[in-house]
């Protein structure tokens, strides 16, 4: 075991003890112990230990996108959901997620549509700036994607619609990542009880653990 693994394992067993202690106070020790053999507790205790794949500088070609397309997509991810006081979409490898998700869970029709969209973005950038999208200034990138997002300027409605699909993929990738769901938003694996009403104000994050299941 590396030091890090030991640390993680210590945290896991400590959390597990706390969890079981909490559970025992609700249901009694015997039942709490019989529950230990279940998946719910072991998984409840380990889920937070899995790290997302944090950005690696050495991108390689994906299953759907070429290396150049992935670099462009990563750049778009960073613009749509940037780093704030939490990591953004690019930092949690949403571009890599999208490539994998498109390959495994979408039809070739959608894969091709997304590839065409990336080509479009590059082509329009070439026309306007004689440069690659990834090489123009940040405010120019933002301006260009805003036009695409609103179907204005150089873009028409069908292209806007395709970009909305890409935005959905970015949002899904980001808000189902550990950072998106549990750091940017609040994630409750085991709420324990349903409460119909608790106070809320706009400075608090919404739940990242809702709407993912049924």
How far is 115 from 73, CA to CA, in rounded Å? Answer: 10
State which of positions 108-137 bind other proteins (CB under 8 A): none
Task: Classify 11 in phi/psi space as left (phi over 0), alpha (psi -120 to 50) or beta.
Answer: alpha
How far is 17 from 26, CA to CA, in rounded Å? Answer: 14
Please identify, using beta-carbon distances, which residue of 65 and 173 lies nearer to other proteins.
173
Question: Can you tell me which of 150, 153, 156, 161 binds other proteins, judged by CB under 8 A?
Answer: 150
Does 106 engage in binding with other proteins (CB under 8 A)?
Answer: yes
Min dist CB 40 to other proteins, Å, is 4
Please identify, using beta-carbon distances, which residue of 130 and 214 lies nearer to other proteins.
214
Does 175 engage in binding with other proteins (CB under 8 A)?
Answer: yes
Please give the DSSP secondary-structure letter assigned to residue 49.
G
For other proteins, what does the binding mask look like between residues 28 and 57, x meaning CB under 8 A?
x--x--xx-xxxxx-xx--xx-x-x-----
Does 65 engage in binding with other proteins (CB under 8 A)?
Answer: no
Does 167 engage in binding with other proteins (CB under 8 A)?
Answer: yes
- Dihedral sign for Cα atoms in the order 148, 152, 153, 157: positive
Min dist CB 104 to other proteins, Å, is 4
How far is 95 from 169, CA to CA, in rounded Å? Answer: 9
How far is 187 from 208, CA to CA, in rounded Å? Answer: 5
Does 15 engage in binding with other proteins (CB under 8 A)?
Answer: no
């Amino acid at each position: 075991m590396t030091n890090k693994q030991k640390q993680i394992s210590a945290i896991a067993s400590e959390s597990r003890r706390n969890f079981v202690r909490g559970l025992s106070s609700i249901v009694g020790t015997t039942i709490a112990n019989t529950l230990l053999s279940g998946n719910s507790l072991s998984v409840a205790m380990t889920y937070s230990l899995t790290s997302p794949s944090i950005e690696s500088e050495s991108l390689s070609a994906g299953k759907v996108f070429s290396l150049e397309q992935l670099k462009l997509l990563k750049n778009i991810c960073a613009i749509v959901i940037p780093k704030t006081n939490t990591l953004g979409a690019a930092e949690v490898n949403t571009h890599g997620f999208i490539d994998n998700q498109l390959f495994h869970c979408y039809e070739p029709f959608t894969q091709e549509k997304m590839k065409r969209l990336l080509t479009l973005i590059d082509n329009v950038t070439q026309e306007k700036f004689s440069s690659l999208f990834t090489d123009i200034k940040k405010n120019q990138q933002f301006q260009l994607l805003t036009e695409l997002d609103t179907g204005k300027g150089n873009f028409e409605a069908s292209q806007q619609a395709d970009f909305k699909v890409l935005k959905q993929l970015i949002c899904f990738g980001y808000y189902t990542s550990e950072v998106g769901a549990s750091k940017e938003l609040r994630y409750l694996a085991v709420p324990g009880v349903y409460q119909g009403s608790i106070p809320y104000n706009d400075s608090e994050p919404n739940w990242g653990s809702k709407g993912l299941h049924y």
